[in-house]
Amino acid sequence: MKKSVKILSIVLALVIVIGCFAACGGKEEPKDESKVLVMATNATFPPYEYVEGGEFVGIDVEIAKAIANKLGMTLEIKDVDFGAIIGGVQSGKFDMGMAGMTVTDERLESVNFSTSYATGIQSVIVLADSEYTSFEDFYTGFDADENPAGVKEGIKIGVQQDTTGDIYSSDVPAKWGFGEDNVIRYKTGADAVQALKSGKVTAVIIDNEPAKSFVAANDGLKILDGEYANEDYAICVAKENTELLESINKALAELQADGTIDKIIKKYIPA
Ligand code: GLN
């Protein structure tokens, strides 16, 4: 009797161990979770990502959905502060970051970027009746190399925190920035635009398409002629997640080749 109980318990233990290997071991993750592609964004950036009728919409949202489709995954969007995207991607909290995000050397030290799917330009928004008519107007004069010598008294630049608008503006005047002290950082581009309307800042430096959206949605604003900086937008992925990066690049190439990306961009940015 005793012996058979012992054998039975050994058999039972083996069944449990083998069962666990089959169910939870190896590479097979629980089905539903492994099929979700978590994208971090900041949905205050029209026409790339914004909320309309309680839904996330925009160029990035649609391209991300098309990528997820190609990968046989369901897209899940997390709306976070722009500055929290890269850290969250690095730590594995999010699979990828897609937020009209510019590829920069500094960001490349923390994350990898996909191939670029769109381009952007930094633009300058001022009040329609602003005394400043060009970007050069913000500076006191120029040195022998034609770089700004200094910033005019009282100039304050509003930016969305942690964006390239913030990074460039915070640089020294000799590098076409305004110096840390003359930059006021806001959580969203919309907040920076409100600050411009209420006279707290002289100008807002932000990507051109959101700039156009903000100017269209608010009376009394205009975009200064000229381009402050040209940029490439791409999707960021954790350094070690090379498998996902390759899958995203492959999907992007296919979506570019079959015209899907072009169609999505044209839907939101009519020529
Ligand atoms: N393109 C800018 C950047 O990458 C702004 C992006 C954003 O505000 N969503 O910093």
CATH at 165: 3.40.190.10
Do 221 and 138 lie in one domain? The reply is: yes
Contacts of 168 (CB under 8 A, 6+ apart): 122, 176, 177, 205, 228, 229
131 lies in some domain: yes
Query: What digits encode the pLDDT tens for the residues 108-143?
Result: 999 999 999 999 999 999 999 999 999 999 999 999
How many whole angstroms from 54 Cα to the centroid of ligand 1?
22
* Domains contained in the chain, number: 2
Do 47 and 103 lie in one domain? The reply is: yes
Domain that residue 175 falls in: 120-230
Asked whether the beta carbons of 251 and 70 are under 8 A apart, the reply is: yes
Q: The pTM is what?
A: 0.85
Do 160 and 222 lie in one domain? The reply is: yes
Do 111 and 126 lie in one domain? The reply is: no
Query: What digits encode the pLDDT tens for the residues 48-84?
Result: 999 999 999 999 999 999 999 999 999 999 999 999 9
Do 126 and 213 lie in one domain? The reply is: yes
Q: Given ligand 1 and candidates 49, 207, 214, 227, which is best to mutate, with the most ligand atoms within 8 Å of its CB?
A: 207
Pocket of ligand 1 (CB under 6 A): 42, 45, 82, 99-102, 120, 160, 163-164, 207, 231
SS3 126: strand
11 lies in some domain: no
Do 163 and 241 lie in one domain? The reply is: no
How many whole angstroms from 255 Cα to the centroid of ligand 1?
23
How many whole angstroms from 100 Cα to the centroid of ligand 1?
5
Closest atom of ligand 1 relative to the 164 alpha carbon: 10
How many whole angstroms from 22 Cα to the centroid of ligand 1?
44
Cis peptide before 30 (omega within 30 of 0): no
Do 112 and 245 lie in one domain? The reply is: yes
Do 108 and 202 lie in one domain? The reply is: no
Do 104 and 142 lie in one domain? The reply is: no
In the predicted structure, residue 22 carries a pLDDT above the cut 70: no
**Cα(52)–Cα(236) distance, integer angstroms:** 25
Give the chain's mean pLDDT.
Answer: 90
Q: What percent of the chain has pLDDT over 90?
A: 85
